[in-house]
Amino acid sequence: MFRQIIICYFILQGFAWSQRTDQDFKKELEAQSSAIQSLRNEIKATQKRIQSEERKEKSSARRVNNLSEEIALLQKLVKELNKEEKLLSADISRTERKINASETDLDTLRSRYARRLKTIYQKGQISNLEKILSSTSWRQAIYRAKYLKIIAEIDKNTHDTIRSLLIEIGKQKLSLEAVLRKKRRLKRDKEKTLSEVRNKKRKEQRALVNIRQSQKELKTYLTEKQAGVKQLETIIKKIQEDIARAEREERIRRQQLALKSKEFPKLKGGLDWPAEGRVITKFGRQWNPKLKTTTENPGIDIKGKPGSEIRAVLGGVVTTITFIRGFGTTVIIDHGGGFYTVYSHVTNVETSEDSQVRQGDIIAYMGDSGSINGSQLHFEIWGEGKKLNPEYWLKKK
């Protein structure tokens, strides 16, 4: 009998723990669904703005930028859909395990209850009052009364637990069916989004060919890129003036102490390269023989294999992940002491804003977002209140 009490107690405790775990998991799924809906809203607003712009401006350069921006948002949506798919798969496995565990508990209780009823039937049952009155002493009568009360409670608890388990199993199976439907719907959404990305990439490639073949379009593209330089300067200025900068500095300082890493200014000429490849555009003033114009490159451009890894050159805090005209998807990392690194034309970003990264962490992959030269990384270093030549800070090849 004591073992039955213990079994009932642990099964009921299991229900309470399961409900707490379910709530946590539900919150995580809700947060992910909310993030996806926010991203969908952003895509819708961006597409609406782009449609409005295209009625006024029909240049290939602007079209490439707009397509690159849409593609970047759609790729981000695919990434978020993949996250939700993993969460739903985990939820399905979890629910299946819970159903199996609940059914095992139900079988155990039913078996014990059936054995007890069989014993009562075989041995016959006299009334509780008869058992007490047949006691040979008042002490035995008290013990029997207490014992019978315990037995009655066990029977009630067992009956209630069996009923609760049946209800719980029913709920779990309904929940499983709902999650399976959601996962199938999510798969369709992902396939549709990937198809949209492929279609827009084809349009982008056609527009890029037009830019390369037309001096006028190339000039417009370079104008767009210079506007992007100004946009980046504004972002860096806001980061420098951000009230959260002091808190970031402290986080970076603690990270440097924990990892025993040097501060950015002491690593001139010793930083690892952010990507494999060759430098196709150097820092500073660049002469364009086709257009016979000079432009300013605030960093270096590294040509590499599509999808190759982009790594943080030093530990720090990610301050910004955004789309910049002419530079595509861009990640900015604060390394403390007023030093920042910028990674542009990237794809499949592996980090998030306000997250800490360590030296060598993969933050994204090489892409062609906003680039007319194919897959490349545009890399900048900001420090001492100005743009610095990255090749002076990176290890010599």
Average predicted confidence (pLDDT) for the chain? 82
- Assess contact for 164 and 11: CB atoms under 8 A: no
Per-residue model confidence (pLDDT) at position 129: 43
Do 27 and 63 have their domain in common? yes
- The residue ranking higher by pLDDT, 301 or 245, is 301
Does the pLDDT value for residue 10 go beyond 60?
A: no
Tell the burial category of 74 from Cβ atoms under 10 Å away from its Cβ (0-12, 13-18, 19+): buried
Which pTM was predicted? Answer: 0.74
- Assess contact for 306 and 366: CB atoms under 8 A: yes
- The residue ranking higher by pLDDT, 313 or 213, is 313
- The residue ranking higher by pLDDT, 17 or 188, is 188
Do 135 and 62 have their domain in common? yes
Do 70 and 19 have their domain in common? yes
- Is 6 part of a structural domain of the chain? yes
Per-residue model confidence (pLDDT) at position 375: 92
What average pLDDT score do residues 56-75 get? 82
Backbone angles phi, psi at 350, to 5 degrees: -105, 5
Do 14 and 122 have their domain in common? yes
The runs of H, that is alpha helices, within the chain are 2-56, 60-123, 128-133, 138-213, 215-241, 245-259, 390-393
Do 160 and 86 have their domain in common? yes
CA distance 154 to 190: 52
Residue 66 neighbours by CB under 8 Å, 6+ apart: 50, 53, 54
Does the pLDDT value for residue 14 go beyond 70?
A: no
Residue 18 confidence class, pLDDT cut points 50, 70, 90: low
Do 346 and 236 have their domain in common? yes
Residue 232 confidence class, pLDDT cut points 50, 70, 90: very high
Lowest-confidence region among 29-33, 162-166, 322-326: 162-166
Does the pLDDT value for residue 100 go beyond 90?
A: no
First to last CA, the chain: 77
Beta bridge partners of 366: 346
Domain that holds residue 253: 221-393
Do 18 and 157 have their domain in common? yes
Nearest to 260 by CA among 351, 340, 358: 358
CA trace torsion 68, 72, 73, 76 (10° rounding): 170
Does the pLDDT value for residue 365 go beyond 80?
A: yes
CA distance 166 to 234: 61
- Is 8 part of a structural domain of the chain? yes
- Is 216 part of a structural domain of the chain? no
Does the pLDDT value for residue 153 go beyond 70?
A: no
Do 247 and 274 have their domain in common? yes
3-state secondary structure of 325: coil
- The residue ranking higher by pLDDT, 107 or 58, is 107
Per-residue model confidence (pLDDT) at position 346: 95
Do 175 and 225 have their domain in common? no
What average pLDDT score do residues 176-189 get? 87
Per-residue model confidence (pLDDT) at position 268: 93
What average pLDDT score do residues 61-66 get? 82
- Is 215 part of a structural domain of the chain? no
- Residue that is last in its domain, among 178, 210, 242: 210
The DSSP code for 271 is B
- Is 46 part of a structural domain of the chain? yes
CATH code at position 385: 2.70.70.10
- Residue that is last in its domain, among 156, 180, 210: 210
3-state secondary structure of 397: coil
Does the pLDDT value for residue 118 go beyond 70?
A: no
Does the pLDDT value for residue 285 go beyond 60?
A: yes
User: Which of the residue ranges 46-55, 75-84, 222-231, 385-394 has the most confident prediction, judged by mean pLDDT?
Assistant: 385-394
Count: domains in the chain: 2
CA distances from 336 to 64, 248, 314, 382, 383 (A): 35, 8, 10, 11, 10
Per-residue model confidence (pLDDT) at position 166: 77
- Is 380 part of a structural domain of the chain? yes
Per-residue model confidence (pLDDT) at position 2: 46
Do 176 and 281 have their domain in common? no
- Residue that is last in its domain, among 183, 210, 237: 210
CA distance 351 to 266: 26
Per-residue model confidence (pLDDT) at position 108: 76
Do 206 and 225 have their domain in common? no
Do 117 and 234 have their domain in common? no
